[in-house]
Amino acid sequence: MPEPIQFDGEVINNTQPAWTKSPNELTDDDYKNFYKELYPAAEDPLFWIHLNVDFPFHLTGILYFPKLGNQSGYEMQKNKIQLFVNQVFVTDQVDQIVPEFLMLLHGVIDSPDIPLNVSRSYLQSDKNVKKISSHITKKVADKLQELFNNDRIDFEQKWDDINVFVKYGMLSDDKFYEKAHDFCLVQSIDGTYYTFDEYKNYVKENQTNKDEKIVFVYTNSKEDQDSYIKNVKEYGYDVLKLDTVIDSHFLSQMEQKLEDVSFVRVDGDTIELDG
């Protein structure tokens, strides 16, 4: 028998929790204080999304972007989103409601349109659950795009904490990939950040191979590969730093998506360029 989601019947103490209020009623401190109520030992979140939908389904909630860092263990970060129905706690096992990559977020969602005490396979096929899942994905992508557009410098400063999340989303969800392609960043070893399109324009003149592909030279360990980096830079080539826990999978996907790009590790085979 498939495992049902259990209804625990726990009622929150606060009769007017933050997610039931309008965003214009809340200050940044209100959002941060609510986060501390949920996760007393956690650092302040990077930013958050306030969900408030009445049609075609009902959904309220606040989702927070925690500080993940480059090497955060994924399993340690899971199950931090709590599901409520009309302010009554149901479960923190929301993996059939929230897309897998969004399980890295923290916070609360509340919806009377999510069926309770049903199998996980039923939840996967429920129309409202699918709509809620898609809506949350869109809101997350829109928030990241807004942050990127409004304050590029601040977004770059947050990148080390959110890049694993963004890359995992791009690997997991094609619709998220389409949106995130415009704000996903790569970092040169000199510290400069670029979008993929920006970086292609930056290096294409000097780093195009005989097959007319733009070569992205990268290191996954700046210290261990220092001599190779110095050698490559003597030829005027730029080197990217791609050293997170997810980058090996991410590079494989990006090489398929970006048909005019080839990724070459700085200590790999001979880098053949025409530039």
Distance CA 81, CA 61 (A): 10
The neighbouring-strand residues paired with 262 are 215
- Closest to 230 (Cα-Cα) out of 222, 22, 36: 222
Q: For residue 14, what pLDDT band results from cuts at 50, 70 and 90?
A: low
| pTM recorded for the entire structure | 0.85
Tell me: pLDDT of 9 over 80: no
Ordered by where they begin, the domains of the chain are 10-153 (3.30.230.80), 186-275 (3.40.50)
CA distances from 35 to 126, 160, 214, 242 (A): 30, 21, 44, 31
- Closest to 215 (Cα-Cα) out of 228, 229, 195, 199: 199
Rank 107-116, 141-150, 262-271 by mean pLDDT and report only the highest.
Answer: 141-150
Alpha helices in the chain (DSSP H): 28-38, 74-77, 120-125, 127-150, 152-172, 174-180, 196-203, 226-234, 247-257
How large is the angle between the packed helices 152-172 and 247-257, nearest 10 degrees?
Answer: 80
How many CB atoms lie under 10 A from the CB of residue 147?
A: 18
pLDDT tens, position by position, 58-70? 999 999 998 865 5
DSSP percent split of the chain into helix, strand, coil, nearest 5: 40, 20, 40
Q: What is the mean pLDDT of residues 176-196?
A: 96
Tell me: pLDDT of 240 over 90: yes
